[in-house]
Structure 1
Amino acid sequence: MIEVLQWSTLATCGVVAAARVPSALRGENRTVFFIFALLTLAILLSIEGPYVAIDRALGGVNAANLILRFVIFAAIFCVGIRITRGFGATNGYRLVTGRIGMAVLATVSLAVVVLFLLIDSAGSSSGLQDISLRGGPDAMLVEYYGAAGRAYPAYVSLVLLPAMVSAVRSRLPAMVRLAAVLLAAGAVAIALTLLFPVAPPEWGPAKFVINYTAVLCFVVGLTLIWAAKVRYGRNVAREKTSTEK
């Protein structure tokens, strides 16, 4: 089931990214194209087969996992920009792109790199699972590394949540409000990943479901906003929400 979810999510992201290519070439909403392209790459690097093949080409030291972390950071940063600007959430935009947001990104990025360098990462392993199974200091470092990697996406998701809640309660078109519901669900799912370190081992499959649910919610939500713009001929989401009053 997990493999089906992974490949179906990859296919969905890839199709939407391909559909955005003509618009991106015309210079229209390139941020949205970059989001879908980055998410497609992130999902590809999350699947064991492609991950192992790519990582072995890079030297077999799990450099692909480090690349994956920064691909996710780039994707969620673009999501934060697109959603806060699209919904007129100026406070949220500042928290993503301003000094606080940049400080959080820089701190988390540094932590991720330092922790990765401290791990004996030899041997390609999707999700660094084999390294965790070794036990000892490396297993603990992998946990810290994973927690650091989840911190920035969770931060951006929590920043986005108030604007999404306000949009759901607004008088925006139903399609946009549905998109806001999905984006809010995706934000909550990402925030829940902060609890992974305290989750019991038997909840492993649930972690995959939460991760891929978040991706699908963001992809479908952004696609609905795109469809709403095409239908109504304007940026229907760009209205002040209660968070800006």
Structure 2
Amino acid sequence: MAFSSLMASILATGFTLALVSRLPRLIKGAGNLWLWLTHLGMSIVLWLAVEPVYLFIDRLMGSVNAANLLSHICINFVFFAGGTQIALSAGRLDVVGRIRRLSVVALPLCVALMTVLFFVADLSYSNMGLNAFRREETAVVLYKLALYLYPAMISALLVKPLLRAASSSVHGVPYYSKKLMAVGFGLVIAAPVGHLAELTNRQLYWITDIFIYPAILCVLLGTTLGFISACRLSRQKVAYAH
């Protein structure tokens, strides 16, 4: 198994375990729905980033890379659910409202655009990531560009509130958590530029990765620090109660 598939499988297992462990509380009405939906979307996306899993699922769907389209749709869904959860955790109900109003129009339009471009492209066999088609098929590059349109919109709504929340954080961990997430979402905003460059010159296919991989790392580290901070705060509240 390639290193990227191995890492994706490890992360997918973690998100799946979190998904299952949070389900009983959610059923009882005590869980966090948006966080659970984010874990659900991330689990699907990450499992589809494991090549044997991708090829198996895509074979069931006709071996035309429909699994890639499913992954792209789930990524957009993750930004809706995850963006809502982050705005809620920052206490920004106004940002939650903006995300919902934007998503009513932008989310279905972006998914529709991706779907149209997917069917326009000539994808005759399974290839995870579609890299085998990028040099010859302009529709594939446009399809990949369309993936980042909705995430870039949601990221644009989150960067400033996260920076403001970071500046008001007294403790180090919440500060770095919000700062890292702000940087990560800022990189997502720039991601479409990479595919625009690729449209002009196929040799520039690597530019998007400069934005995306650091963005994933920053958001993942930021959310992990946020989780650690929340656990620490919860323990402090229990200690004070006793």
TM-score calculated relative to the size of structure 2: 0.81
Rounded Cα–Cα distance in structure 2 between residues aligned with 1:48 and 1:211: 22
Gaps of 5+ in 2: 199-203
Q: Are positions 1:62 and 2:76 aligned together? A: no
Secondary structure in structure 1 of the residue aligned to 2:123:
coil
Using the alignment, how far apart are the partners of 2:210 and 2:191 within structure 1? 10
Aligned residue in 1 for 2:201? none
**1:85-113, Cα deviation, whole Å (9 max, x unpaired):** 22222332222101x33222232122111
Segment drifting more, 51-60 vs 216-225 = 216-225
Relative distance call for 1:188 and 1:208 in structure 2 (3 A) is closer
1:96 aligns with 2:80: no
Matches within 5 A, 1:160-171: 160-171=158-169
- The code of the aligned residue for 1:220 comes to T
Paired with 2:149 and 2:233, the residues of 1 have a C-alpha distance of 32
- Partner-residue secondary structure (3-state), 1:121: coil
Q: In structure 2, which of residues 13, 16, 19 is the aligned counterpart of residue 17 of structure 1?
A: 19
Aligned-residue offset at 1:158: 1.5
1:210 matched to which residue of 2? 214
Asked if the contact 1:185/1:217 (under 8 Å) is kept, the reply is no
For CA contacts below 8 A with separation 6 or more, give which structure has more relative contact order: 1
The equivalent of 2:146 in structure 1 is 148
Matched residue, 2:121 = 119
Give unpaired runs (5+ residues) of structure 1.
Answer: 235-245
Distance in 2 (CA, whole Å) between partners of 1:2 and 1:203 is 18
| Counterparts of 1:19 and 1:166, CA distance in 2 | 33
Distance 1:160 1:127, change over 3 A: same
Amino acid at match of 2:235: R
C-alpha spacing 1:19/1:178, structure 2 compared with 1 (3 Å): farther
2:54 alignment counterpart: 51
- Given candidates 209, 213, 220, the residue that maps to 2:224 is 220
Question: Displacement, 1:140?
Answer: 0.4
Three-state SS of the structure 2 residue aligned to 1:72 is helix
Alpha-carbon spacing, 1:185–1:105, altered in 2? closer, same or farther (3 Å): same
Alignment pair present for 1:230 and 2:234: yes
Contact 1:185–1:214 (8 Å) recurs in 2: yes
Whether the 8 Å CA contact 1:189–1:213 is kept in 2: the answer is no
**Which of 18, 29, 33 is 2:32 aligned to?**
29
RMSD across aligned positions (CA): 2.7
Task: Name the residue aligned to 2:184.
Answer: 186
Q: CA deviation at 1:229?
A: 5.6
Aligned twin of 2:42? 39
Figure out how many residues of one structure are paired with residues of the other and give that number. Answer: 229
Contact 2:156 2:186 in 1 (8 A): yes
- 1:5-41, CA deviations, whole angstroms, 9 ceiling, x for partnerless residues? 4334323333433443343233211221221121011
TM norm structure 1: 0.80
